[in-house]
Structure 1
Amino acid sequence: MLGTGASAIQLVPELRPRGAWVIVLQRTAPWVIPRHDPPTSDRRRRAFRRRPWRQRLARALVFAGAEARFPGFATPVIGRVAEAVYRRSLRRQITDPTLREQVMPRFRLGCKRVLISSDWYPALASPEVRLVTEPVLRIDGAYLVTAAGARHRADVLVAATGFNVTAQPIATRIRSRGGTLAEHWRPHASALRGTTVAGFPNLFLLVGPNTALAHNSMVYVIESQIRYVLAALAALEARRARTIETDPVAQRHYADRLDRALTRSVWQTGGCVSYYQDAGGANPTIWPHAAATFARTVRRFDPAEYLWE
């Protein structure tokens, strides 16, 4: 298993009970927090069916609980307390001092994607799993060769090595009068309210730049964006215009406000390099505020932020 990210922590605990001997090759030890996701009982399901308001209330409580995690990213003092709590959880699950030291994170909570699992650490501590922290230099036939010269034989290699969110391939396919969206987004991607881009009329994005959440549901962001897009289309129809295009001045002011918030955030000062950042070190990925703040940001469509034709 190459990697210890969101894919690996799901796969390794499932491979081990199936009789597999698993070698996990780790580059960086992640923060892993317990899942706390008990099954929904039949009684609760019946209550939801009979009284739908209970289900809406349960959803609101889940959302509020997720929002309550945000201060751990935004406020260093609260973040340190959360780190101490999760370190104690790690120590309880892994008793071997060498392994415990290997899996202890070396950066602030939230700097990289926080992983959620209650069976990752028990899987690593099991005799069927071996953790290797030496860098992998190359694959030589059926062997992975590390920087220390060790050769690890594998029948199956799982490359759980992440993905690229700052240089999305679709951007090379979207073209306007000034070139492709990918060219326009050099060196850094930007969009007004994460939804529209100056120079690209009638283009609307969902999950655009700086809309990803590190603490709550992306579905909430998407739902908020859809309402904003519908309001923009209604304004386009009401004006009987052919095109709606982002005012570059409005987009620049919006991007400047985000940059100021990100500069002092854990995602820029947490002591790590993550997929949130692009090649230039900027962060065009994360929304640096609470999820409810994003919803307020796109709640009202402002025609003054756009050019009409």
Structure 2
Amino acid sequence: MSTEWTGAAPAAPVHRVAILIVGSGGNAIAAAVLLARAGHADITIMTKHADFGGAWLQNTYPGCEVDSPSVVYQFEFDPNRRWSSLFARQPELLDYLRDVARRNDLYKRTMFEAELLDARWSVDEHCWIVESTRGTVTAGVLILATGFLEEPVIPEISGMDSFGGRIFHSSMWPVGYTGAGDRVAVVGSGSSAIQIVPALAPRAAEVIQFQRTPTWVFPKQNRQLPAEEIDMLERSPAERETREVAVQEEEERNWSAIFLGLDDAAAKEYERLSREFLHEQIAEPEIRTLLTPDHPVGCKRPLVSDDYYGSLNAPNVCLVPSAVSSMGPEFVMTSDGDRFDVDAVVLATGFHFGGHILDRVRRRDGQTVAARQQGRPRAYKAISVSGCPNLFLVGGAAPNGQIWNGLFPGQAAAPYIIGALAHMRDHGLIALEVSEEAEEAWKAGADTLLDEGPTVIGGCLNYSQDETGHNKAAWPGSLESMRAAYAMFDPTDYIAIT
């Protein structure tokens, strides 16, 4: 993503709207639907993509599926009562998100293939002026809901341009490619890689996975739901609620123990369970050693899979505990000097976390938010940024906006934004801007809690740490604490602009 606006947007008529939402994934959909249902009719959505779906539009690799149970990974305001499995696969999730967008008339509100290039607050006009690849939009309110893991990390590998076979990031999967008959290198060992390796193994001639660092893996316990069970769940609100409550309670415990580090005994038990699962699945002691992390659970994102470990036992699958350091026309080479001849390379190398969009957002004083914050991203309650009137961050765009259910932040934040808009209407205000003192105080409180968690003190590299060593990703509390924080807008920490 380029971070420098050159002022060269295509000439086009200026489009004026009351509310502009940037993004087309689940959290953007949730914000748009709930604001519209609250009576805000003048909403436009802007997205660089060609359709709705976010991560589930972008990631189409074989084996792609959600890591949260489908019974909670959905909209509370528009649930799907007929999921086909406990953890839905990408095509079903994409269909669900598109269907919600379609039934709520979001398509007619949306500028597709319009990438935000620059957004700046006009002090004179009291609005956001947003330049995009499809022209200029001015908006009284700007909502950024651009996703947690959207911008791919493309590693710089010596000789990459000389490779003669297929090479692509996992989020840019070639249509129809199955790896059949190919020798495929999978670079990476995160959540995408552990889905891709077992999916390719039955078809590829060889799958070679290059792992720099192992992480903790837990059984997913996914299964297809028989037709009778699907029908029963559709007919029984009580059974659905029972399952939802049980899953949410378990996920809240996991978040608290693993990501926030608030329960050392529980975290140690999770590590024991993961080691036990590894021993059950991998018979070879040397391979088990290569797959055993040396960091505490939660330092990196823990993984869930029923078939990843098992796939490593296949004769055509090879685990290489080294990074790829160079490439040639027909091979990849590790930092240890080992050469592997391959036909295709999958870069399952992950994503930059969320807030890169703030490189393109300018405060009242003309500075970009990123430049002002100097490597320490922050936002009051993970939603409002000082110097940026009428700007609201939702989900991935928001520092500390991540919670265990990736579809929840948009649903949680919408009531807060609706409350802020009502406050401005009732008090005749042009805009609201959070104070810098409130922003700093909230971030300091978040750091106090998160600095004791494994992401910060665990001793590993991860996408959650900012340049100053603090956790820029996680919400400092439970999902229910996020719901409570956004339930009612409180103007106390905001500056009123008349």
Fold shared, TM-score > 0.5 on shorter chain:
yes
Residues 166 and 277 of structure 1 are in contact (CA less than 8 Å); yes or no, is this contact kept in structure 2?
no
CA displacement 1:34-72 (0-9 Å, x = unmatched): 112222232232223323343233222221221122342
Q: Closer, same or farther in 2 for the Cα pair 1:196/1:20, shift >3 Å?
A: farther
Structure with the higher fraction of residues in strand conformation: 2
Tell me the residue number matched to 2:363: 176
Residue 125 of structure 1 aligns to a residue whose secondary structure is coil
Percent sequence identity is: 30
Which residue of the partner structure matches residue 100 of structure 1? 288
Aligned residue in 2 for 1:284 = 472
CA gap of 1:53–1:235, structure 2 versus 1, over 3 A, is: farther
How far the C-alpha of 1:149 sits from its partner, in A, is 1.6
CA distance in 1, matches of 2:460, 2:414: 33
Structure 2 equivalent of residue 211 of structure 1 = 401
**CA–CA distance in structure 2, aligned partners of residues 276 and 218 of structure 1:** 15
Q: Deviations over 1:168-221 (max 9, x none)?
A: 1x22222222211221231210001111101000101101110212xx312223
| Residue matched to 1:201 | 389
Tell me, yes or no, if the aligned pair for 1:21 and 1:128 is still in contact at 8 Å. yes
SS, match of residue 191 in structure 1: coil
Aligned to 2:213: 28
Note the C-alpha offset of 1:167: 5.1
Aligned residues: 306
Does the 8 Å contact 2:419/2:489 carry over to 1? yes
SS in 2 for 1:157: strand
1:166 Cα deviation (Å)? Answer: 5.8
After TM superposition, list the pairs within 5 Å mapping 1:146-295 onto structure 2.
146-165=334-353, 168=356, 170-178=357-365, 179-207=367-395, 208-213=398-403, 216-295=404-483
Is residue 166–residue 276 contact of structure 1 (8 Å, CA) maintained in 2?
A: no
Q: Which amino acid aligns with 1:4?
A: S
CA contact (8 A) 1:166 1:278 kept: no
Correspondence for 2:243? 58
Q: How many angstroms does 1:103 deviate by?
A: 0.5
What RMSD, in angstroms, separates the aligned Cα atoms of the two structures?
Answer: 1.6
The one-letter code matched in structure 2 to 1:176 is: R
User: Does 2:231 correspond to 1:41?
Assistant: no
Partner letter of residue 255 of structure 1? K
Query: Contact conserved, 2:415 with 2:488, CA < 8 A, in 1?
Result: no
Normalised by the length of structure 2, the TM-score is 0.59
Report the secondary structure of 2:345's partner residue: coil
Q: C-alpha distance in 2, partners of 1:198/1:230?
A: 19
Q: 1:167 to 1:221 in 2, by over 3 A?
A: closer
Give the alignment partner of residue 72 of structure 1, picking from 220, 244, 257: 257
| CA distance in 2: counterparts of 1:280 and 1:124, whole angstroms | 37
**Hey, what does 2:194 align to over in structure 1?**
9
Q: Is the 8 A contact 1:166 1:275 kept in 2?
A: no
Query: Does structure 2 conserve the Cα–Cα contact (< 8 Å) formed by 1:143 and 1:152?
Result: yes
Contact 1:202-1:244 at 8 Å conserved across structures: yes
More divergent stretch after superposition (88-97 vs 144-153): 144-153
Structure 1: which amino acid aligns with 2:399?
A: P
Would the alpha carbon gap of residues 19 and 218 (structure 1) be closer, same or farther in structure 2, given more than 3 Å must change?
A: closer
Deviation of the 1:290 alpha carbon: 1.8
Single out whichever of 242-251 and 67-76 deviates more from structure 2. Answer: 67-76
Structure 1 residue aligned with 2:51: none
Change (3 A) 1:187 1:19: closer
Instruction: List structure 1 segments (4+ residues) > 6 angstroms apart after TM superposition.
Output: none
Q: 2:317 aligns with which of 124, 129, 150?
A: 129
SS where residue 158 of structure 1 aligns? strand
Kindly provide the CA deviation profile for residues 86-141 of structure 1, in whole angstroms up to 9, marking residues without a partner as x: 10111110010111100111111111111111111011122111111123221122
Q: Is the 8 A contact 2:384 2:392 kept in 1?
A: yes
C-alpha distance in 2 between matches for 1:9 and 1:148 = 23
Unpaired segments ≥5 residues, structure 1:
none
**Counterpart residue type for residue 364 of structure 2:** R
Q: Is the 8 A contact 2:412 2:487 kept in 1?
A: yes
